[in-house]
Amino acid sequence: MIELDPTKMKDWQIAEAAEDNGLRPIEDLVAELGLQKDEWTPYGRVLAKVDVTKVLRRVGEGRKGKYIDVTAITPTALGEGKTTTTLGLVEGLGRLGKKVIGCVRQPSGGPTFNIKGSAAGGGLAQVVPLTSLSLGLTGDMDAITNANNIAMVALNSRMQHERNHDDAWLAERGLKRLDIDPARIQFRWAMDLCAQGLRNIEIGRGGKLDGFNCESGFYISVASEVMAILAMSSDLKDLRERLGKIIVAYSKDGKPVTTRDLEVDGAMCAIMVNAIKPTLMQSLEGQPMFVHAGPFANIAIGQNSVVADKLACALGDYVVTESGFASDMGFEKFWNIKCRCSGLKPDAVVLVATVRALKAHGGAPAVKAGLPLDPVYSTENLELLEKGCDNLLAHIDIIRKSGVQPVVCLNAFYTDTEAERELVRKVAEGAGARFAVSNHWLKGGTGAEELAREVIAACDEPNDFRYLCDLDEPLKDRIEKQVKEVYGGDGVDFEPVAMEKLERLQADPATARLPICCAKTQYSLSHDPKLLGRPKGWRMPVRDVLVYQGAGLIVPVAGEIKLMPGTSASPAYRRIDVDTETGKVKGLF
């Protein structure tokens, strides 16, 4: 085996070297999982699509494996390494002889070509092949984008024809006038890139044959309801039903107009027939990884798919899944939305932190792109670290509200001192959490064995998993409870438009019991990204409330959060290129 050294190689170079040295053939992975011939379809030598329905019909949906979620403290510009830790834990459990399967989201093209980069992990804890993962994989992202946009095509076309023709003309073509209110269009176009210039646009300019002239816009594909539906659906039939419930607009008399009303839901599902099947990949150390769905956690549900987790839990002894961003965002949605939908309950929750990130929450100088890191991040400073541990304690408390005691994983950096690590250990264990230092980035599975043992021990302990709210509680009360008990705020201030929508949703039995999926900044427990640590004495402003009836979610929109991110001045695409001799992509991270 070729030596892979993260201290001397970039992530894409490690992935490329591993791929050149020979990844496990896909036939080996499917044999290890016990899949039958008609249950999977190969995509080249090392990828496959897996038919969840066929597998679960044969083996049953009962949970075989221990179920572990990985979350983190509030993100900082330094990164916490949550996906890297997820992969490290998978590799560590594999090193201990456990039959383990990992489940992660598919990266979005927005971050891949922007600041964050691909979501493949890093160092010696990665999903491979990196290029396939980062650049389209098996086509799911294109299917989601196209399914979203065919609905928008149908909506604008219908508005054009209703404007241009009378009821008799429509009836001849089997159409009934929907009388869509152009001021109450709920749906937008989708693109899987960070394109701030498309957030708000005008379409249909020109003549009467050039579409319906109205205001419109784009959101990033991973924030779309179609993506949320893929993550939430239990099978193809469920996907088909959910796609037909999407509210795209309201009529002039206030009735919802759905994709079913536009008769486009069948076409949307046809585009996504293959997308409901998870993609089978592998870790750098050869453990099977299911990659499926990719919604953001700040503006969407932030989970890989229900079907991938169900599939893994039916096949593996240990299943490691990941929730996006911090526990107030990704884990909260895993806990109160995904687990309700899947029926699965976690045996353990891993909370990832780093010394550097905790120092940032303790008041260390802000990290600025392109400028050297302040020395405080690489030298011992117990005072800043201890202050920053308030953020760690907040996230421990959030996880404990679910009835599960977390395992705090300190993702190791070479600049950490022993005193700093011991301080974090003391804080974590003092709050009742388990604790482990993991060096998976540098050493892969070997470096994650301590973490793996703590997780195994946590899985063997009983827990009292419970949801934060009962769905019979009023929507307004549930939002208030989430802000107070999860985020630590004093309450919620609803703007008039948000309150009006909330009251209308509460009055409708079809929406009154839907789970809450808050859209807010990921950079703070509050709505304000400048409030680091564990902020107190604040209230959350909710400026809008969206309904994703197909996904089954009510989405309060807090602060200035955008559903279409922007591209930075120094994006990753400047460093991505192709070796024209070999055709290999370089520069991904």
336/358 Cα distance (integer angstroms) = 27
Tokens 């409030």 locate to: 531
Q: Between 337 and 571, whose confidence is greater?
A: 337
The CATH number for 497's domain is: 3.10.410.10
Any catalytic annotation for residue 84? yes
Q: 587 falls in which pLDDT band (50, 70, 90)?
A: confident
Residue 248 lies in a domain: yes
Based on the residue annotation, tell me whether 413 is a catalytic residue of this protein. yes
Give the separation between CA 325 and CA 296, rounded to whole angstroms: 8
The CATH number given to whatever domain includes residue 393 is 3.40.50.300
Q: Residue 1: its pLDDT value, please? A: 46
Q: Are residues 238 and 203 in the same domain?
A: yes
- Contact (CB, 8 A) for 246 and 185: no
Same domain, 149 and 133: no
Structure tokens at 382: 């117990």
- DSSP class of 115: S
3-state secondary structure (DSSP) of residue 209 = coil
**Lowest model confidence (mean pLDDT) among 41-45, 296-300, 476-480, 496-500:** 296-300
Instruction: Look at residues 324, 299, 350, 328 and name the one whose alpha carbon lies nearest to residue 531.
Output: 328
pLDDT of residue 34: 95
Residues 148 and 130 in one domain: no
Last residue of a domain, one of 459, 487, 505: 459
57 and 193 share a domain?
A: no
In-domain check, residue 266: yes
Whether 55 has a pLDDT exceeding 90, the answer reads yes
Q: Is a pLDDT exceeding 90 seen at residue 560?
A: no
Active-site hit among 49, 63, 82, 534:
82
Which one from 413, 435, 494, 589 is the annotated catalytic residue? Answer: 413
Q: What is the pLDDT of residue 370?
A: 66
Ordered DSSP codes for 526-577: SS-TT--SS--S--EEEEEEEEETTTTEEEEEETT--SS----SS-GGGG-E
- Tell me if 467 is assigned to some domain: no
Using a pLDDT cut of 70, give the percent of the chain over it. 99
pLDDT over threshold 80, residue 63 = no
Q: What is the pLDDT of residue 2?
A: 59
In a domain? residue 575:
no
Q: Is residue 584 part of a domain?
A: no
189-191 vs 218-220, strand pairing mode: parallel
Asked if 266 and 324 sit in the same domain, the reply is no
Which residue among 74, 76, 83, 84 is the active-site one? Answer: 84
**Tokens representing residue 494 in the block:** 């609803």
Average pLDDT, the chain: 93
> Which amino acid is present at 248?
V
Are 326 and 395 in contact by the 8 Å Cβ rule? The answer is yes
| Residue range 385-438, pLDDT digits in tens | 999 999 999 999 999 999 999 999 999 999 999 999 999 999 999 999 999 999
φ/ψ of 204, rounded to 5, equals: 80, 20
Whether 523 and 408 share a structural domain: no
Q: Which of 105, 242, 434, 534 is catalytic?
A: 105
Pair (292, 406) in one structural domain: yes
Asked, as a colleague might, if the bond just before 129 is cis with ω within 30 of 0, I would say: yes
In a domain, 582, yes or no: no
Q: Is residue 583 part of a domain?
A: no
Residue 116 annotated to the active site = yes
DSSP structure string for 36-58:
-GGGEEEETTTEEEE-HHHHHHH
Say which of 72, 190, 228, 297 is annotated catalytic: 297
The pLDDT confidence band at residue 566, using thresholds 50, 70 and 90, is: confident
Measured CA to CA in angstroms, residue 175 lies from 108, 152, 166, 182, 247 at distances of 37, 18, 11, 19, 18
Name the packing angle between helices 225-232 and 236-243 (round to 10°): 150
Minimum mean pLDDT range among 74-88, 324-338, 360-374 = 360-374
Q: What is the CATH number of the domain that holds 260?
A: 3.30.1510.10
* 308 and 290 together in one domain: yes
What is the distance between the alpha carbons of residues 550 and 301, in angstroms, rounded to a whole number?
Answer: 13
Structural domain contains residue 491: yes
Give the pair of three-digit tokens for residue 401. 């509200």
Same domain, 293 and 428: yes
Domain end among 251, 271, 291: 271
Predicted confidence at residue 119, as pLDDT, reads: 76
Are 317 and 408 members of one domain?
A: yes
- Active site (annotated) includes residue 441: yes
Would you call 31 helix, strand, or coil by DSSP?
helix
Q: What is the pLDDT of residue 295?
A: 83
Catalytic annotation, pick one of 63, 116, 387, 478: 116
Q: Is the pLDDT of residue 368 over 90?
A: no
Looking at residue 573, its pLDDT comes to: 84
The answer to whether the CB of 74 falls within 8 A of the CB of 395 is yes
- Is 297 assigned a catalytic role? yes
Number of domains in the chain: 3
Q: Is residue 49 located within the same domain as residue 90?
A: yes
451/482 same-domain check: no
Catalytic pick from 113, 212, 218, 325?
325
Of all residues in the chain, the percent with pLDDT exceeding 90 is 81
Q: How far is Cα 293 from Cα 306, in angstroms, rounded to an integer?
A: 9
**pTM of the complete model:** 0.94
Question: Among all chains, which residue has been given the structure tokens 């699509």?
Answer: 49
Residue numbers of the domain that contains 193: 140-271
Which of 271, 288, 311 marks a domain boundary? 271
Task: Indicate if the pLDDT at residue 589 is higher than 70.
Answer: yes
